[in-house]
Amino acid sequence: MTDAPRVHEGTSLDEAMLRWRNEKHLMVCAGRSNPELGLRIADVLGVRLGGVMLKTFANGEIYARYEESVRGSDLFIIQSPYGADSLNDHIVELMLMVQAAKLASARRVTAVMPYFPYSRQDKKSTAREPISARLLATLLEAAGADRVLSMDLHQGQIQGFFQIPVDHMTAVPMLADYFAFRDFDAPVVAVSADAGGVKLAKRFQAHIPDCGLAVLTKQRTAHNQAEVLHFIGDVEGKVAIIIDDMIDTGGSIVGAIEMLYEHGARDVYAAATHGIFSPPARERIRESQVREVVVTDTIRIEPGPRDDKIKVLSVAGTLANVIRAVFTDDSVSDIFAGEHQLF
């Protein structure tokens, strides 16, 4: 709780009250989707993770209550909805946390959603279907969110679905640096997982010296099903690194891995910001010839004893830097040197 203002000698009560009201008060809280990431972010920022009581009643309804005052605070709520059985619950939980904070007089509430769900439903592909990503944006605004932070959005137009500020972050430099310091003893090629991800692959390529570029094209035959159709580039005797924004069921990635080996790749790796890993993704990765799959902790991941091919990097430092910049009204673009732009 913010202490009452102290009146120093020579300072009027009105002046002290004005200075007190203008002081910013940073708070970070986390929902139940990824509490470990919330703790890491708070640790980097040097603050304590705020206490929130979160419960699910027997009938499935969710309850949220802050265990300390949030009045006048600049509150950042960490929530990355995921999971076949919990994604929608995480979304409702986030909205309840946002509304509870607004009703408790938080000065500004920022929804920190490293993974933005429903992002693949960003347009009408066929008749009589919703634009779900647009609806989620509307619901967050209706709940009272003043700002949204997200990472490697699936499509750039999602930013335009909001009428509140959206700060976009990227994990591509971190993923690229992980591979840049590896001694592969062979030329490296960045491979775009599809035609729409070429810009993502080019940013990845820019961080690795003398890195080539290749492109795969695919066609979706049904939801969560994709067929790799064509390959453009040269991977003969080279190390191919597939770069994508997310890995869900793993079908596309495994198909791409097989095609790259068919075209003579010496080794194949895969990297993605969001490791959703819906079943049977982990089984597919284990059975594939991929050397390693590198993802981040935007989504809570608990690798099992057989998931030795999965490597998880933490984005807590990146998220903490952006939160600090937003809190102090500094530039987010400077943190990424312009590489976070989607277009």
Question: Do 149 and 218 share a structural domain?
Answer: no
Given the residues 218, 238, 309, 311, the one annotated as active site: 218
Give helix 198-206 / helix 172-180 axis angle, nearest 10°. 50
Q: What is the secondary structure of 213-279 as a DSSP string?
A: EEEEEEEEEETTEEEEEEEES--TTSEEEEEEEEESSSHHHHHHHHHHHHTT-SEEEEEEEEE---T
- Alpha-carbon distance of 5 to 184, in angstroms, equals 60
In a domain, 198, yes or no: yes
Which tens digits make up the pLDDT trace of 186-233? Answer: 999 999 988 778 889 999 999 999 999 999 886 655 555 556 568 899
- Alpha-carbon distance of 240 to 187, in angstroms, equals 9
Name which of 175, 179, 230, 234 is nearest 209 in CA terms. Answer: 179
DSSP letter for 156, please: G
Question: Do 135 and 205 share a structural domain?
Answer: no
What pLDDT score was predicted for residue 2? 46
Residue with tokens 């960045």: 190
Structural contact between residues 75 and 110, judged by C-beta atoms closer than 8 angstroms: yes
Residue with tokens 């059975």: 287
Split at pLDDT 50, 70, 90, the class of 330 is very high
Structural contact between residues 141 and 158, judged by C-beta atoms closer than 8 angstroms: no
What pLDDT score was predicted for residue 18? 57
Query: What's the mean pLDDT in 148-164?
Result: 93
User: What 3-state class would DSSP assign to 119?
Assistant: coil
- Alpha-carbon distance of 247 to 262, in angstroms, equals 22
Spell out the residues 6+ positions from residue 166 whose beta carbon is closer than 8 angstroms to its own: 147, 148, 149, 150, 158, 159
Helix (H) or strand (E) holding 98: helix 87-103
Distances (CA, A) of 139 to 28, 153, 161, 162: 22, 18, 11, 10
The more confident residue out of 49 and 8 is: 49
- pLDDT at residue 294 is higher than 50: yes
Question: Do 322 and 300 share a structural domain?
Answer: no
In a domain, 3, yes or no: no
Task: Tell me if residue 218 is catalytic.
Answer: yes
Which tens digits make up the pLDDT trace of 266-292? Answer: 999 999 999 999 999 999 999 999 999
Question: Do 159 and 117 share a structural domain?
Answer: yes
Share of the chain above pLDDT 70, in %: 88
**At 129, which CATH number?**
3.40.50.2020
In a domain, 27, yes or no: yes
Structurally, the chain folds into a number of domains equal to 2
State the chain's mean pLDDT as an integer.
Answer: 90
What pLDDT score was predicted for residue 10? 54
Question: Do 332 and 187 share a structural domain?
Answer: no
The more confident residue out of 94 and 157 is: 94
User: What 3-state class would DSSP assign to 55?
Assistant: strand
Spell out the residues 6+ positions from residue 301 whose beta carbon is closer than 8 angstroms to its own: 275, 277, 295, 310, 312
Query: What's the mean pLDDT in 53-70?
Result: 97
The more confident residue out of 221 and 148 is: 148
Q: Look up the domain containing 18 and give its range.
A: 13-171+317-336
In a domain, 61, yes or no: yes
Which tens digits make up the pLDDT trace of 75-126? Answer: 999 999 999 899 999 999 999 999 999 999 999 999 999 999 999 999 998 8
Question: Do 309 and 160 share a structural domain?
Answer: no
Rg (CA), the chain: 22
What pLDDT score was predicted for residue 81? 96
Q: What is the pTM of this model?
A: 0.89
Split at pLDDT 50, 70, 90, the class of 1 is very low
Question: Do 189 and 102 share a structural domain?
Answer: no
Question: Do 203 and 80 share a structural domain?
Answer: no
Question: Do 328 and 303 share a structural domain?
Answer: no
Question: Do 110 and 180 share a structural domain?
Answer: no
- pLDDT at residue 7 is higher than 60: no
